[in-house]
Structure 1
Amino acid sequence: MNDQPTRMRGDLGLVSVVAFGVAYMAPAVVVSIFGVIAATSAGAAPTAYAIATGAMLLTGFSYAKMAKVHPSSGSVYTYARKELDSRIGFLAGWAMLLDYLFLPMVAFLLQAIYLNVQYPSVPEWAWLVINVVLATAINVIGIKVADKVNRVLLIGVTGSLLVLAVLCAKYGFGHSGTAAIGHSFWNGATSFSAITAAAAIAAYAFLGFDAVSTLSEEARDPQRTIPRGIILTVLVGGAIFVVLSFLMQWTHPGGSFPNENSAGYLVSTVVGGKTFADISNLIGLLGGFASCVAIQASTSRLMFVMGRDGALPRPVFGRLHRKLLTPVTNVVIIGVIGLLAMNLSLAEATSFINFGAFLGFTLVNVCVIAYALRQWRSGRRHSVLGYLVLPAAGAAVDVYLITQLGSTATEIGLGWLAIGIVWLAFLTKGFRAPAPEMRLNEEDAKPAAGTPRHVPLFTPASRKPQVNG
């Protein structure tokens, strides 16, 4: 009898889940990339963020539906293998790994770069090591400690952003005037193409709302908490992005800056002085650390579920610490990958992540459509708008976002998929067998209340789930 634990444990409520998702998204990013969004949109940053929020909500609704039907930490990997095919599920998980594995690297690298700028006496590599070690230690101890850290840091970031909002509003009334309010959303230089291009960039700020679905096995009443948490994360993050970008755009009308990359710091300096800008920047960095903790936690859980199923080597990835019930090995592996950022530029690191994220988003929308079609065939009707029209629109938006990626990101993404296909061919004996899966017990195999059992589309009738131990 194998007594290796196979389920994570936690008691996270809705507030903790939303705090995790918002921390993952790092709300202070709206300040960091304000100049890029404003310049691309020709001075209409809040409109770009509003469109991006609506676009991400489409996929958020699909994630919420799937999280209710399949309350597992595997996210799109689990949804695709259940609703489409085990092999498609494997490739979905493999694609998301490209995002999840290297997003921690980007987060750690950003922290090191900005801390080095503010405190140049400490070298960049030292800041990188400090952030990786601290985040790894927190995630090894467990999700409850990570939750407490995220809440404290998120409160600090929220407070800093509120102060910035008040200062921007005060400056706007005193200098820009109420006439400039409308110009912040649309002006003579703005065009539809400029807004959509900026919205495509702004959508990257939402990467991470899907990570909420990886907490399904550690949340109270996951079939209610996780779907609500996903939608609230998008809405809360979107509200922060729209409001802050509007106030900053009102403070600085137009999209012309001496340096787009430091425009957010420039606005903070104008409305509050250099001391405020420096303090605000430091608090934003603390929020960035909370994002590092959340990103590492969610990635380790996706790797664990794939390892538990045998899609990744189970002795390495599919194990939990007996007492802590955390995927310690996975957490450490992600920390080591984070340290590799010492040898990469920020541009090289960020090019790894977007392809996998938007491909995974597309597949989640497809899964909702597949689920609805199966349900309709069995006699149970779902809303055409909610289960067909909106997911199709979400998939179309995500495919559009993929087309907006640069050639480097596309080449890396396709190369990563090619490696996954080769590994899948090995696992499935030339694609003749389903990808490995593990059924934990009868309770784990039960679908959501009121959901009839079903066989995934395109799965061979001879499929026999593999059971561990």
Structure 2
Amino acid sequence: MNTTPGSETRLSRTLTLPSLVLFGLAYLAPLIVLGIFGVIAETTHGTASAAYLVALIAMMFTAHSYGRMAVAHPVAGSAYTYVRRSIEPRTGFLVGWTMLLDYLFLPLVIWLIGGSYLTAQFPGVPIGVWVVLYMLVTTVLNVLGIQVADKANFVLMAFQVLVIVIFVVLCAVAVAGDRGASGLLSVEPFWNSSTQLTAVTAGAAIAAYSFLGFDAITTLTEEAVEPKKNMPRAILLIALIGGAIFVIVSYATQLVHPGGSFPDPDSAASEIALQIGGAFFAAVFLAGLVIAQFASGIAAQASASRLLYAMGRDGTLPKAFFGRLNRKFHTPVLNLLLTGVIGLGGMFMDVATSTSFINFGAFIAFTAVNVSVIFHFFRERRRGVRHSVIAYVVLPVIGAIVSVFLITRLDSNALIVGVSWFCLGVVVLGIITKGFRKAPPTMSDI
């Protein structure tokens, strides 16, 4: 294996199944369910739990497909690698390029949202200060190595889970105090007299955004212990545990505040936190939201750097920059610094603008992975290897249909930016393949 001074080309396998699940849940940021609760409750006319349940079922199909591909191709790169190996290298490049919308800019959005929370609490401090602090601390932790980031994630996730548990308990106490213990059991958060199926599915499309990132753990495959066994389990557990948290928390919150009318849907959960726990818990709740963004930022930046590393190692991006690992830390330091610099763009953007184009790349990746499983099934069948038709055809077809449906639910700005970025990727692909006459560079053996 060729190496260059100060760099290596092999990642270290140190992540166990619990660590993988923890990283994935940090990426999801479970507290996001409360950050967007008001919007979903308003959309569904007070049945936010139903929306999250539908979204969970939908996401499990795609999680299943990611698991199948992680077994077939236990290397870094996520959907990018799965598509280029199962379908075709040029298609894989375009999927990887489109995913960059999600992976590269998600840390920016996470740090921007965290900065927005802090600026609301401390209006005298410019949001740029908070964004820079988020970026610096997160980048240093990721440069030091996946094990250091893993330990930090454990502490941050522990606090985030603690806030969620306290919130749910306070909701239960408030409901039991008003309506008795029987009030804790109700179908209204799932279906009530105002429920419409179209409203629930519209809410589910919004709720599905909370799951974005469950797939990002596949970019850490080369750092996972026994990846063929642990990666599929981790992916399904992340989607299932995250979805269960979303359903339970939205159920408890919807019991405290039936219906979908709020003075301000964007800050509905903060108002409810103040209602059930007073000023002290409201402050703790705010701290939890800020920390959730920090933990999610660690995982998001780590995954973005690994995707760039995989594409750099292939040569589809300049290898001298993107395909290098630092010899001391065994991490793609240059990629981490690049994602950190991009994250500073959050100082000049607002949340609505920065989030509008991320989902396009994510849902394209979901669709492509489901289709990759189907291609893999028929390719293996030609080689005489038999796989389950249900697991490798039926379930992925359902997952692909759901993902395409989610794409159609994106607003026009997201579609315009997404399609424009895709077209730019076609131009780049044409250049590196000399007019599409040859395939992009193939991943080196590892």
User: Shorter-chain-normalised TM-score: which range?
Assistant: over 0.9
Describe the superposition over 1:18-70 as per-residue Cα deviations: whole angstroms up to 9, x where unpaired: 00000001001011110011011110011100110110110000000000110
TM-score (norm 2): 0.97
CA drift of 1:376 comes to: 2.1
Aligned counterpart for 1:344 among listed residues 336, 341, 349:
349
| Distance in structure 1 (CA, Å) of the matches to 2:155 and 2:368 | 34
Describe the superposition over 1:315-343 as per-residue Cα deviations: whole angstroms up to 9, x where unpaired: 11111111111000000000000001111
CA drift of 1:307 comes to: 0.4
CA drift of 1:302 comes to: 0.3
- In the other structure, the counterpart of 1:156 is 159
- In the other structure, the counterpart of 1:83 is 86
- In the other structure, the counterpart of 1:321 is 326
Describe the superposition over 1:183-238 as per-residue Cα deviations: whole angstroms up to 9, x where unpaired: 11100111110000000000000001001101111111111111111000001100
1:283 aligns with 2:283: no
Tell me if structure 2 keeps the 8 A contact 1:18–1:229: yes
- In the other structure, the counterpart of 1:222 is 227
1:205 aligns with 2:210: yes
- In the other structure, the counterpart of 2:176 is 173
Aligned counterpart for 2:49 among listed residues 46, 49, 61:
46
State the one-letter code of the partner of 1:121: G
- In the other structure, the counterpart of 2:106 is 103
State the one-letter code of the partner of 2:223: E
| Distance in structure 2 (CA, Å) of the matches to 1:45 and 1:176 | 21
Tell me if structure 1 keeps the 8 A contact 2:313–2:444: no
CA drift of 1:245 comes to: 0.2
| Distance in structure 1 (CA, Å) of the matches to 2:65 and 2:262 | 38
| Distance in structure 1 (CA, Å) of the matches to 2:336 and 2:246 | 30
Tell me if structure 1 keeps the 8 A contact 2:114–2:289: no
CA RMSD of aligned residues (A): 1.1
Aligned counterpart for 2:358 among listed residues 328, 348, 353:
353
- In the other structure, the counterpart of 1:408 is 413
SS at match of 1:197: helix
CA drift of 1:312 comes to: 0.7
CA drift of 1:381 comes to: 2.1
- Aligned-residue sequence identity (percent) comes to 50
1:261 aligns with 2:266: yes
Describe the superposition over 1:81-135 as per-residue Cα deviations: whole angstroms up to 9, x where unpaired: 0000000010110011111011111001001100111222322110111110110
Aligned counterpart for 1:239 among listed residues 229, 235, 244:
244
Tell me if structure 2 keeps the 8 A contact 1:52–1:200: yes
1:110-149 aligned at under 5 Å gives the runs: 110-149=113-152
Aligned counterpart for 2:380 among listed residues 368, 375, 394:
375
| Distance in structure 1 (CA, Å) of the matches to 2:210 and 2:57 | 13
Tell me if structure 2 keeps the 8 A contact 1:10–1:144: no
| Distance in structure 2 (CA, Å) of the matches to 1:58 and 1:175 | 39
State the one-letter code of the partner of 1:317: F
TM-score (norm 1): 0.92
Aligned counterpart for 1:299 among listed residues 275, 298, 304:
304
- In the other structure, the counterpart of 1:70 is 73
Tell me if structure 2 keeps the 8 A contact 1:106–1:350: yes
Describe the superposition over 1:122-179 as per-residue Cα deviations: whole angstroms up to 9, x where unpaired: 2211011111011011111110000000010000010111011111011112225535
Describe the superposition over 1:239-262 as per-residue Cα deviations: whole angstroms up to 9, x where unpaired: 110000000001100000010000
| Distance in structure 2 (CA, Å) of the matches to 1:119 and 1:138 | 25
Distance 1:32 1:297, change over 3 A: same
Tell me if structure 1 keeps the 8 A contact 2:21–2:235: yes
1:35 aligns with 2:41: no
Tell me if structure 2 keeps the 8 A contact 1:215–1:226: no
Tell me if structure 2 keeps the 8 A contact 1:142–1:325: yes
Structure 2 gaps, min length 5:
none
| Distance in structure 1 (CA, Å) of the matches to 2:148 and 2:67 | 26
- In the other structure, the counterpart of 2:3 is 3
State the one-letter code of the partner of 1:249: Q
- In the other structure, the counterpart of 1:397 is 402
CA drift of 1:279 comes to: 1.0
Structure 1 segments (4+ residues) deviating >4 Å: none
State the one-letter code of the partner of 1:288: Q
1:195 aligns with 2:200: yes
State the one-letter code of the partner of 1:41: T
- In the other structure, the counterpart of 1:272 is 277
| Distance in structure 2 (CA, Å) of the matches to 1:121 and 1:348 | 23
CA drift of 1:283 comes to: 2.0
- 293-302 or 169-178: bigger deviation: 169-178
- In the other structure, the counterpart of 2:433 is 428
Tell me if structure 1 keeps the 8 A contact 2:41–2:48: yes
| Distance in structure 1 (CA, Å) of the matches to 2:289 and 2:415 | 31
Structure 1 gaps, min length 5:
445-469
Distance 1:336 1:302, change over 3 A: same
State the one-letter code of the partner of 1:20: F
Aligned counterpart for 1:437 among listed residues 426, 438, 442:
442
Tell me if structure 2 keeps the 8 A contact 1:305–1:318: yes
Tell me if structure 2 keeps the 8 A contact 1:424–1:431: yes
1:19 aligns with 2:22: yes
